[in-house]
A = this chain, B = another copy of it.
């Protein structure tokens, strides 16, 4: 049986790694990026050189383009591998190009990605049959190590996927599992979105080290030096709010500490010790300025949608609210307005029961 076409939107670190790996696994792969600079090295080289823990090889792609019409000229499984702040743009652009049987997986969706896609699709006339879902994380730790060369440093042992509504999940799970056998269905998009740990581990540690990173252009190790006992207290405070939100909505979750232990094999009793036993974090430097995805993605597409969903759930989130306020002031924009608020997610006016119905109830789960 011929393998289906995989269309990857986004040629950053993750998009290139997935494109190369999936192509080497025998699929027809199309790679799109909005920016010429992103794809030029690949066009020049005629493909992507893959190295690292998932194998080595030179991956030829069937198409590498900045033209969405061209990227979507034939049907296939569409994987959106972009920073969350680019989701809305891509959703608007592809809405008129989609077919009834298209399937889209945001990989990952950050928090509320699939909800935002659905909202935009309904406003921009995408076919009703299109299936939209998201994963809980990017499958790889990876980086572009040279022009047309991508290196995979690590692979997640668990990839959660779900659709909006969750009753569509099977249609996304099957093709994804064929590529990544570690894929499993999770409850619904509240599960992927509220188990997005990036805002938890990124935002307060960036804010509480703001002077240090601006004064030194990030010349310290983010996790190994920047997560001091007091910084860790705020990480735990915001994580408690996230967990209370999960509990209120019936979403299974782990605490940040448990998550570190389960997915990274980290060890210890207190958070700084646990993070500093995670060897994957050892060399990670602090961002060199406030202009970092640790703020520009994780606040508007992480804490904002969490705090907004918490309003529906009736869960107070003073620490999330404070982080959003401080980040907004520093960045000179109101993330509550520009970020993924209830309006952007199409959730205005819903109560808790309606929200749970919208995402597909808690009925669907492979577990």
| Given A234-B329, A237-B329, A330-B230, A211:B209 Cβ within 8 A | yes
Q: How far is the CB of A231 from chain B (nearest CB, A)?
A: 5
Question: Nearest Cβ distance between residue A320 and chain B, in whole angstroms?
Answer: 11
Task: State the main secondary structure of chain A at its contact with B.
Answer: helix
Q: Chain A 305-344 against B: per-residue CB contact (8 Å), 1 yes, 0 no? A: 0000000000000110110011001101000000000000
* CB <8 Å contact, A215 and B210: no
Contacts of A225 in B (CB 8 A): 211, 215
**Cβ of A212 < 8 Å from any Cβ of B?**
yes
From residue A207, how far is it (CB to closest CB) to chain B in Å? 7
A326 touches B234 (CB 8 A): yes
A112 contacts chain B at the CB level, 8 A cutoff = no
- The verdict on A205 contacting chain B, using a C-beta distance below 8 Å, is yes
A220 at interface by CB-CB < 8 Å: yes
Complex Cα–Cα for A215 and B215 (A): 15
Hey, which chain B residues are within 8 Å of A321, CB to CB?
322
A290 close to B (CB within 8 Å): yes
Cα A38 to Cα B215 in complex, Å, equals: 38
Interface flags, A3-39, vs B, CB<8A=1, else 0: 0000000000000000000000000000000000000
Q: Which single member of B205, B227, B325 contacts A318 (CB below 8 Å)?
A: B325
A319 touches B330 (CB 8 A): no
Question: Of the candidates B205, B227, B319, B325, which one forms a contact with A319 in the assembled complex, judged by CB atoms under 8 Å apart?
Answer: B325
Q: How far is the CB of A215 from chain B (nearest CB, A)?
A: 5
In Å, the complex CA distance between A212 and B237 comes to: 20
Please give, as numbers and ranges, the residues of chain B lying within 8 Å of A332 by CB-CB distance: 233
Chain A contacts with B in 204-244, Cβ cutoff 8 A: 205, 207-212, 214-215, 220, 225-231, 233-234, 237
Choice from B228, B318, B319, B326 contacting A210 with Cβ under 8 Å = B228
Task: Assess the A211–B226 pair: CB atoms within 8 A.
Answer: yes
Q: How far is the CA of A33 from the CA of B326 in the complex (A)?
A: 41
6 contacts across the A-B interface (CB closer than 8 A): A211-B231, A212-B212, A212-B215, A214-B228, A233-B329, A233-B332
Binding site for B on A (CB under 8 A): 205, 207-212, 214-215, 220, 225-231, 233-234, 237, 290, 318-319, 321-322, 325-326, 329-330, 332
